[in-house]
């Protein structure tokens, strides 16, 4: 059975998947939901040198350390960049890429190329006192339940600006054979956020798989059962 490796997006930690992990495990799967460098239990490692390459190394290192194969690699939001470069390095270990309301890059692109509004975050960070910290946005990613909002606030950390500046690498021809799926959260999309259309045919030549969830950006918190059902459909 495939292993699910869930990669959180900017500002979050691995604990954002707490409601999804038990549902996938109940179906018999091994599930890993690590915090990337600078977040959660690794928050003390945050610094100006932490970037996209750091987070790619986190995930590639975990796959190697755990000798994972047949991996369903799920990337939320910013982590669409992360999982793309991870698959470029270890395509033979990845069974499926899932872009969960995520940035979907081409080779050599940065976050700004995929989502131009990101430039405003970079500008704010570089002009700030630190010169590199990007604080979480005021709106909490479509989470509205007061208890959920309070819990989510405990998970959030600043994002190092380097994460938004380093380019994705997709120069390994083998990565094109990895199947992809896309999950779009379609409620409350913030102004200025424009999602790239998903081509009808994915890089491996198969028809694209695109699902929609009627909720906000953090669907792993607001619709964990529905999201888990979609992910299990890939197994």
Catalytic sites, residue numbers: 77
Token pair recorded at residue 87: 């698959």
Whole-angstrom distance, CA of residue 30 vs CA of residue 80 = 21
Whole-angstrom distance, CA of residue 158 vs CA of residue 93 = 31
Token pair recorded at residue 45: 């490692």
Please report, for residues 40, 46, 66, 173, 198, the alpha-carbon distance to residue 88 in angstroms, rounded to integers and kept in the order given: 26, 25, 18, 8, 19
The total of other beta-carbon atoms located within 10 Å of residue 214's CB is: 11
Whole-angstrom distance, CA of residue 32 vs CA of residue 67 = 13
Whole-angstrom distance, CA of residue 158 vs CA of residue 89 = 27
Helix 52-65 to helix 79-89 angle, to the nearest 10 degrees? 50
């Amino acid at each position: 059975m495939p292993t699910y490796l869930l990669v959180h997006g900017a500002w979050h930690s691995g604990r954002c998947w707490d409601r999804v992990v038990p549902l996938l495990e109940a179906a018999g799967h091994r599930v890993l939901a690590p915090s990337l460098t600078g977040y959660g239990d690794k928050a003390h490692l945050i610094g100006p040198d932490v970037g996209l390459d750091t987070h790619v190394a986190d995930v590639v290192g975990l796959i190697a350390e755990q000798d994972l194969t047949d991996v369903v690699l799920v990337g939320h939001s910013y982590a669409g960049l992360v999982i793309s470069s991870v698959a470029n390095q270890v395509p033979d270990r990845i069974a499926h890429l899932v872009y969960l309301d995520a940035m979907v890059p081409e080779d050599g692109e940065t976050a700004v190329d995929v989502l131009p509004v990101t430039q405003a975050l970079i500008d704010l960070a570089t002009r700030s006192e630190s010169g590199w910290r990007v604080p979480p946005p005021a709106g909490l990613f479509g989470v509205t339940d007061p208890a959920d909002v309070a819990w989510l606030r405990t998970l959030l950390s600043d994002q190092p600006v380097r994460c938004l500046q380093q380019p994705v690498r997709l120069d390994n021809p083998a990565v094109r054979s990895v199947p992809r799926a896309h999950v779009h959260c379609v409620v409350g999309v913030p102004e200025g956020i424009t999602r790239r259309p998903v081509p009808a045919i994915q890089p491996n030549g198969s028809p694209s798989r695109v699902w929609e969830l009627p909720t906000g950006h953090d669907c792993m918190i607001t619709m964990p059962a529905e999201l888990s059902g979609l992910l299990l459909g890939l197994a």
